[in-house]
Amino acid sequence: MSNKSKSVIISLLKTNTFVVDTLSNILKPYKISLQQFNVLRILRGQKGNPSNLSTVQEKMINRMSNTTRIIDKLVKKNYVSRSICKENRRKIELLITPKGLKILGKIDLIFEKEESKLTDKLSPEEHDEILTLFNKINNSLKQKSL
């Protein structure tokens, strides 16, 4: 690996750590993790339609997360409901509850403000450029894993 490659990787890792720490700190007062927040946003995106474990896992930002354990915690907090599918009793359906929607509503405003702060020094062109570069790296990694 070249020095430039190492510098890019180290910079990505440092940035990731900073972003994760910053966003995790926003969620601390609400007693939910980034992974739980991610699941709640995925379920809200279903717009009232039930989802299942495999669909949630596919959409997770961190696919290495133990999605079953995360959902168990959200069910315990009454942010997510879990029920057996009427058409296929082997399937479990997941829905975000009104309480889950309420907590997301509270967090969204703070989260959006903080997300903007993290990138407010970038011009619109730089936003586009960095997204292009991240996509290029992600696509390269996906091809290597095939």
Which segments within the chain are labelled E, that is strand? 80-84, 92-96
CA separation for the pair 134, 43 (Å, rounded):
26
Cβ-Cβ contacts under 8 Å for 103 (sequence gap 6 or more):
30, 32, 40, 79
The answer to whether the beta carbons of residues 72 and 79 sit under 8 Å apart is no
Identity of residue 21: D
Cα-based distances in Å from 65 to 21, 35, 58: 17, 7, 11
Tell me which residue has tokens 């750590």.
17
Return the domain boundaries, the chain.
Answer: 35-106
Q: Would strands 92-96 and 80-84 be described as parallel, antiparallel, or unpaired? A: antiparallel
63 with 136: CB under 8 angstroms? Answer: no
pLDDT in tens, 4-53: 888 988 999 999 999 999 999 999 999 999 999 999 999 999 998 999 88
pLDDT in tens, 53-108: 888 998 998 877 799 999 999 999 999 999 987 888 788 899 999 999 999 999 99
How many angstroms separate the CA atoms of 138 and 134, rounded?
6
CATH 3.30.420.40 is held by the domain 35-106: no
